[in-house]
Structure 1
Amino acid sequence: MTIHPEIAKILATLPAPDGSPLNPEAMRAGEAAQVPPLDQRLPLHAVEDATAVTPSGEVPVRIYTPAEADSYDLLVYFHGGAFFLGSLDTHDHVARSLAKETGHKVISVGYRLAPEAVFPAGLDDCYGVVRWVAEQGSSLSWNGKNLAIAGDSSGGNFVAAVAAKAHDDGFDRITHQVLFYPSLDLDFDVDRYPSLRENAEGYGLETAGLKPFNSFYLGSGADPADPLVSPIKRGDLAGLPAALVITAEHDPLRDEGELYGRRLNEAGVDATVSRYQGANHGFVQNFAWIPEFYRAFEETGEFLNARAGQ
């Protein structure tokens, strides 16, 4: 299927990459300028900022309560942004939609970013918040059932890595993992996955841009051979939480996400892979206003609620 026409319109307005060095500060400022005012965001019962006290330090979080209730399932969300972009604000709309469509209380994590914070700072923050959420269950009105983790792109990388760390530590409270077009292999050899060549150019995220975008993370000490950096390299996936992996047809990272889903199934993990036709990388963040792509949030809700407490 060709790229969705509404996405094609936006892609046609983007300037061609000119090879100039990336400027994290300028790119972050550009993202922040695009954040809509509060009165234009999806309304929920409550949204509040808080601080999670973790072994890696104090981590800012934002807690989204979808509706008034006595108790809730919980979902911890890690935003995307190639490990150096993204914030609680830039992905606020994603967290709100997740809360609305899942009925879960969502805790979004403002983890530290590369290159200022070296590996594994961001990963440690995400894992620390998940442990904090479990410990603070009563104050969060947790019903003791679902404790899911979800993330998009590099946030999906953190989902897989956190699930692995938790398993290895014997922390068994995570019930589900949801990965939206995850970046799971930071070895960018173009011959590793057909999608790196099939979707190399013209769809927003380009294969040639993967190394520069991830250079801040890799330059901070993240080794692509480390399974906590490239979770697809983990040898044994048995015992990990049930998974929903959502991929985009026109995404260089499509095949590594789908391979993760297949390998989970082969390891005996209940895993569903759902490819969105006509979509590109980032569609959950950038194009969820298109009904067929907003469906990703609804599918997440169906996945979590069909397996509540499992």
Structure 2
Amino acid sequence: MSNLPKLNPASVALLSILPVIDYNIVPIEVLRANHTSITLSDKIPRPKVTVQRIKIPTCEDGHLIPADIYRPASATPNEVLPAMIFLQTRGRISDEANCVVILAHYSLSPEVRYPVAVEESYSVFEWATNPDNASKLCFDPTKVAMDGDSAGASLTISTAVLAKRRSLKNKMKHQILYYPAIYPNAATESHKLDPICFPSNLDIKDLIGLPPVLMITGEADPLRDEGEVFARSLLEAEVVVSSYRVRGVLHGFLSIPPLHSKEVLEVIDMTTGALRRAFS
């Protein structure tokens, strides 16, 4: 037991009050309502941004994906900025990177199944890298990065692979992966048939030529090892990778408000630095 990670204060505080939940009994709607009702502490700094809500059509059947467009308040109205697509239902942004943030609300399981979320994520990226769409919102379609946490990080990888396979003209500038769900031990035939959904089963030829990666894992996260194993696979494919393990944090430490801590601010600084370098 001595090898167990020492949790940071925010994680200890949350676990001390967290009830035991039987996920087989509690409806998914109740879990989501409880999650979205939690608000950020007033101690967490907020960037000054303008927000525009839009809907992005998918490439396959045209159904609409809700998205929020965040733009630094310090930017002039016609200033063309880089852009970052966020694949998470909750998120924090920093205007220090001086970029437009596209927060895409992709469809969630169990209501939808593979490949809906994968194709939605790809559609958002294809839409963002289309010059006509980008010009309307004053961002550069040649400078679009993508990030996500947990399942959103897995979808980011899938989008990068699909963009390469489909020879999308404007390439992804950077991938930022927060504790991705990789499923490294998946050995069933169905897993092997859907490598886009399960990145661990991607062939190395799929990884060669992917955009640079910032990989963030949590020390006390069950997904820690699979993310770090995948980072090594990317390195073997000669992808530029920076990988950081954040000490003392649980899964979801970036997207669950009660887990916000100084470690979150440090990761945001890493993200800002990675984006500045990618967009320079």
Q: Compute the TM-score of the two structures, normalised by the length of structure 2.
A: 0.85
Unaligned stretches of 5+ residues in structure 1: 80-86, 190-221
- Residues in 1 aligned to 2:10 and 2:111: alpha-carbon distance in whole angstroms: 36
Matches within 5 A, 1:56-67: 56=60, 57-66=63-72, 67=74
Shift of 1:16: 2.7
Asked if 1 retains the 8 angstrom alpha-carbon contact of 2:184 and 2:226, the reply is no
Partner of 2:271: helix, strand, or coil?
helix
CA RMSD, Structure 1 to Structure 2 (Å): 2.5
Partner of residue 238, structure 2: 268
Q: Which of 224, 229, 242 is the equivalent residue of 2:191?
A: 224
- Residues in 1 aligned to 2:23 and 2:234: alpha-carbon distance in whole angstroms: 37
Asked if 2 retains the 8 angstrom alpha-carbon contact of 1:185 and 1:224, the reply is no
Shift of 1:30: 1.6
Change (3 A) 1:268 1:140: same
- Residues in 2 aligned to 1:253 and 1:227: alpha-carbon distance in whole angstroms: 18
Shift of 1:17: 4.1
AA in 2 matched with 1:119:
Y
Partner of 1:151: helix, strand, or coil?
strand
Q: Does 1:300 align with 2:267?
A: no
Partner of 2:144: helix, strand, or coil?
strand
Shift of 1:41: 8.3
Q: Which of 149, 153, 156 is the equivalent residue of 1:156?
A: 153
Q: Does 1:167 align with 2:164?
A: yes
Q: Does 1:77 align with 2:86?
A: yes
- Residues in 1 aligned to 2:138 and 2:218: alpha-carbon distance in whole angstroms: 35
Q: Compute the TM-score of the two structures, normalised by the length of structure 1.
A: 0.78
Partner of residue 9, structure 1: 13
- Residues in 2 aligned to 1:26 and 1:45: alpha-carbon distance in whole angstroms: 31
Asked if 2 retains the 8 angstrom alpha-carbon contact of 1:102 and 1:297, the reply is no
Q: Which of 75, 84, 90 is the equivalent residue of 1:68?
A: 75
- Residues in 2 aligned to 1:45 and 1:19: alpha-carbon distance in whole angstroms: 37
**Runs in 1 of length 4+ with deviation above 3 angstroms?**
17-22, 186-189
Partner of residue 134, structure 2: 137
Asked if 2 retains the 8 angstrom alpha-carbon contact of 1:99 and 1:106, the reply is no
Matches within 5 A, 1:94-133: 94=91, 97-133=92-128
Asked if 2 retains the 8 angstrom alpha-carbon contact of 1:157 and 1:184, the reply is yes
- Residues in 2 aligned to 1:145 and 1:47: alpha-carbon distance in whole angstroms: 22
Q: Which of 168, 186, 201 is the equivalent residue of 1:233?
A: 201
AA in 1 matched with 2:75:
E
Matches within 5 A, 1:169-248: 169-171=166-168, 172-185=170-183, 187=185, 223-225=190-192, 226-236=194-204, 237-248=207-218
Partner of 1:175: helix, strand, or coil?
strand
AA in 2 matched with 1:258:
E
Shift of 1:72: 0.7
AA in 2 matched with 1:34:
I
Asked if 2 retains the 8 angstrom alpha-carbon contact of 1:99 and 1:105, the reply is no
Asked if 1 retains the 8 angstrom alpha-carbon contact of 2:160 and 2:211, the reply is yes
Shift of 1:247: 0.3
* Deviation string, structure 1 residues 38-70 (Cα, Å, up to 9, x no partner): xx9825231110011222421111000023131
- Residues in 2 aligned to 1:134 and 1:48: alpha-carbon distance in whole angstroms: 18
- Residues in 2 aligned to 1:55 and 1:145: alpha-carbon distance in whole angstroms: 19
Q: Does 1:255 align with 2:209?
A: no
- Residues in 2 aligned to 1:143 and 1:250: alpha-carbon distance in whole angstroms: 38
AA in 1 matched with 2:83:
L
Asked if 1 retains the 8 angstrom alpha-carbon contact of 2:228 and 2:243, the reply is yes
AA in 1 matched with 2:103:
S
Matches within 5 A, 1:17-96: 17-18=21-22, 20-35=24-39, 42-56=46-60, 57-66=63-72, 67-69=74-76, 70-79=79-88, 87=89, 91=90, 94=91
Shift of 1:118: 2.3
